[in-house]
Amino acid sequence: MPLTFRVAVGQFKELIPDDLAFCSQLGVSGITVNRPDFSTPSWRNFLGKHYPYGPADFTKSSKWDFMDLVNLRRRVEDFGLRLESIENVPYHFYDKVLTGAPGRDEQIDNYCETLLNLGRAGIRILGYHFAPNLVWRTSTARPARGRAGVTAFDMDEAHLAPNTHGRVFEEAEMWENYEYFITRVLPAAQEAGVSLALHPDDPPVSALGGVARIMNSLDGFRKALRIGSSPNHGLTFCVGTWGQMGGSVVYDALEEFVGQDRVKYLHVRNIKGSVPSFAECFVDEGDIDIVRILKILQRNSFGGFVIDDHVPQMTHDTPWGHRGRAFSTGYLRGLCRALDSHET
């Protein structure tokens, strides 16, 4: 059965032309970009934006400008790549939405305008999360194979952390905040022709820093997709985070959601252990069977893309991880080539 999905590269928080040349040299289909803040000097320089074009300016914005998004897409396409998706808006675009704070209605209005601008600019996927206190790790440089640095998490340490948002946010309140958000932005996504892709809470525990985590289980995602019921609502299926839930849920969930055409794209990485204690590792080792993951995609004729995710920091690597990503991407492309040439 021929493969219908493609391999891309991700996790760019800023870009220079050499990064795009590097990705093109890897032979991938395209890239994803994380939380671009086009008001920063690095993004202004990449876009060649030395003075405002149209209504945009250099102040700290609360939504993305249409011309910036068009310029970003065209810059990527100049290297023979596609801008597969953008992953997450800057945190200050919707921090009040996440906690139900005053001002969230204005942020939701701006989020809807951003979705419309994405659609106008020809960018069809926006990844998002619903975790006010983001990704947690208790170690960011644990020695792994060959003393490469990886991240790790231990709940015995993390549970000692103080409240991150001044008080406790219970599960029911977080679900209320989520429903308030998703039911208001989905009509704009549908109008724009943009798909929203929900990422799981990393790590997928019940609460951290006094904030309940609701995107942490198969049942949680089923509930989220019932609330946000639309063809324009799906998942960023993070293999590593689903694997952190333990057992076979990573395979069961992927089979279920790919079969429902809910998965927009995948983050592919590997781990050792699961909640309450785990560490990341190289993609070719660990507890997750990556070949099994790709076979599920193949069997279901998945038409999206997969990207590398967090990678170990290898010797003489860059902060973004050019060496680690070259290894992960080459491994994924090799597996795909093998699967594509054999019946399963």
| CA pseudo-torsion sign 333, 337, 340, 344 | negative
pLDDT of residue 159: 94
Q: Which CATH class is domain 6-340?
A: alpha beta
Considering the entire predicted model, what is its pTM?
0.95
Residue 58's contacts (CB-CB under 8 Å, 6 or more residues apart) are 39, 44, 52
Task: List, in sequence order, every beta strand (DSSP E) within the chain.
Answer: 6-12, 30-34, 82-87, 125-128, 139-143, 149-154, 195-198, 207-208, 211-212, 233-238, 263-268, 270-274, 277-281, 305-308
pLDDT of residue 32: 98
The band of 342, judged by pLDDT with boundaries at 50, 70 and 90, is confident
Rg over alpha carbons for the chain, rounded to the nearest Å, is 19
Q: How far apart are CA 105 and CA 158, in angstroms?
A: 32
Q: What are the pLDDT digits (tens) for 265-286?
A: 999 999 999 999 999 999 999 9
Q: Tell which residue, 281, 257, 254, 253, has the closest CA to residue 269.
A: 281
Tell which wins on pLDDT, 255 or 61: 255
Q: Where are the chain's structural domains?
A: 6-340
Q: What are the pLDDT digits (tens) for 303-329?
A: 999 999 999 999 999 999 999 999 999
| Centroid of chain to Cα 339 | 25
The band of 60, judged by pLDDT with boundaries at 50, 70 and 90, is low
Q: How far apart are CA 128 and CA 236, in angstroms?
A: 8
Burial classification of residue 42, based on how many CB atoms lie within 10 Å of its CB (0-12 exposed, 13-18 middle, 19 or more buried): middle
Longest dimension (CA), the chain: 56
